[in-house]
Chain A
């Protein structure tokens, strides 16, 4: 898998949001949303990115697609550097990289028919005639499990699952190679969730899609992803194949996260690793290992020395002094 050129290669990506204060609105501090994330995504794979709210997983996904101006680092898509490109130049790449959001209703105009909303994609990115565009939209609707005559309906006439199908139709309209799914199934009921995931997997097989699947739901990620990256407070904590992460989690944070998931087995009295307290604020970033404030294994040096990102077995990386 590693022989060929990766579809996406990110190196040392940083994204800081400045905090401005005082009369002169000088930057007095930074919220470190993403801190030194480097990874490769290969053609046809599904990379899961998990972590709690505020861990920078969404900002990372948005940065990769050029929706956020990054602070530092490089992003290569098929070997081309795409960081810092102008909007016009980036437009070419955007056809190839799409995003599915958590709440598709928020990204649909309530007064625009679904057909028209989907057609807009082709108006902007293609030179198809009106008749061809409409034909293509009808095909897309069928492709994602809706009906052709849904073309003339408005967003409020659809259920949550159907709306997410519309979001997916819009994302696949231009035959992209990379789709970033940002909490794409989190707002759905479990039975609908499973259908949408099946649709995503079908489409991946049919079009050799590559997914970056951002989610806080470790259960869904497990069944969906080939490799999983665990993030904490903007940094990479552990990366490995789905099997490595779920069967042999090494980092204390990954272990705590996995043990905190409620299992549908009553009476299973919790052999749980409890994490005390809350996530520290990203504007007041801990020194050393970002996890040391809550870590059950933390030692003196964890408070001062940033742990190295190291490979513990093939394809399995962690950042921890103590494991």
Chain B
């Protein structure tokens, strides 16, 4: 059966003055069409390195071995030019801080039209109409007005919606979301999670959702992959991971979540005694 995304033995390393620093150490996983895979773990566990590897967006000192196949097509080893055809077209990514991903000196309209004109070869007029439809789709009120505005004029939640609109511009089959709600307030986070979930249903995309928040995982994931120190320590469907976690790290991670519905304060007593620094630094 054809997986949408199939990652096998992915090793991602950073070359530094002190030698090679492994960020991802031989992980394998797959994502199907219409499925959300959550990658969860604490800072430095390799979850972002994994998503950057898939997108081919590692910094210049990054190195990949292994295999990443999107619809059966091998991505590892592709030239930058070939990658550009895939990025934004077949797969796209949204980031934690949309302000850093948006260009402050161009209007929202300009930035939204760009991928449409490059990848789908639309005229400016068609692209403008398309941008309005996209903004409408991600729930932005008065889309025509918003096209003329600049990123700093929008709130954090609105910016993230614009980023999502941009990512969806070319109907990608895979969406990678790297902590897309971490910088947002809870009421806005709830809106964005629902939006991503709805769009996934509508468009039948596969979604890789990177987060450190087990609460968010429970809300959006179909399957969960728990990472620690660049390795996958547990993978399974969301119910089995939450209801019967097998690995001690997953158990610890779940126990450390401050649950508002929970009466006991056990998570304070249970917490680990070491300073939690993960192994990758």
Contacts and interface: CB of A to CB of B under 8 A. Distances in A.
A124 interface: no
A257 B213 CA distance: 17
A246 B214 contact: no
B129 to A, nearest CB: 25
A263 B193 CA distance: 13
A278 B215 CA distance: 22
A283 to B, nearest CB: 13
Given A264-B217, A266-B242, A278-B155, A189 B187 contact: no
Interface in A264-278: 264-268, 270, 272, 274-275, 277-278
B101 interface: no
Interface string B260-280: 110001011011110111000
Nearest to B181: A262
A192 interface: yes
Contacts of A201: 268
B257 A257 contact: no
B275 A52 contact: no
Contacts of B203: none
Contacts of A162: 275
Interface in B96-150: 141
Contacts of B258: 190, 193-194, 217, 219-220, 222-223
B57 interface: no
Interface in A175-198: 189-195, 197-198
B187 A191 contact: no
Contacts of B190: 260, 262, 270, 272, 274
Given A262-B213, A265-B242, A268-B218, A278 B271 contact: no
Given A190-B212, A219-B258, A278-B155, A264 B242 contact: yes
B257 A264 contact: yes
B267 A262 contact: no
Interface in A154-186: 159-162
Contact of A189 (B155, B193, B273, B276): B276
A223 B187 CA distance: 21
Contacts of B261: 263
Contacts of A192: 275-276
Given A198-B268, A223-B265, A266-B221, A191 B256 contact: yes
Given A189-B42, A190-B253, A195 B187 contact: no
Contact of A194 (B43, B141, B187, B256): B256
Contacts of B6: none
B95 to A, nearest CB: 18
Given A264-B242, A264-B254, A246 B260 contact: yes
B226 interface: no
Contact of A191 (B157, B213, B271): B271
Contacts of A277: 141
B196 interface: no
B259 A52 contact: no
Contacts of B186: 52, 216, 218, 257, 260-262
B152 interface: no
A191 B254 CA distance: 10
Interface string B232-259: 0000001100110000000011101111
Contacts of A218: 186, 260
A216 B213 CA distance: 14
B30 interface: no
Nearest to B43: A189
Interface in A229-288: 246, 256-258, 260-268, 270, 272, 274-275, 277-279
Contacts of A262: 186, 189-190, 193, 213, 215-216, 218-219
A274 B43 CA distance: 30
Contact of B253 (A191, A220, A246, A258): A191
The listed residue with most A CB atoms (<10 A of its CB), out of B155, B215, B239, B258, is B258
A268 B214 CA distance: 13
A219 B185 contact: no
B188 A195 contact: no
B164 interface: no
A158 to B, nearest CB: 9
Contacts of A265: 218, 242
A53 B184 CA distance: 8
B193 to A, nearest CB: 7
Interface string B34-70: 0000000011000000000000000000000000000
A262 B155 CA distance: 21
B68 to A, nearest CB: 27
Given A260-B186, A262-B193, A194 B254 contact: no
B162 to A, nearest CB: 13
Interface of A: 52-53, 159-162, 189-195, 197-198, 201, 216-220, 222-223, 246, 256-258, 260-268, 270, 272, 274-275, 277-279
The 7 A-B residue pairs with the shortest CB-CB distance, nearest first, are A262-B215, A219-B258, A194-B271, A52-B185, A189-B42, A190-B256, A260-B190
8 contacts: A52-B185, A52-B188, A159-B275, A189-B276, A195-B273, A217-B258, A264-B259, A266-B221
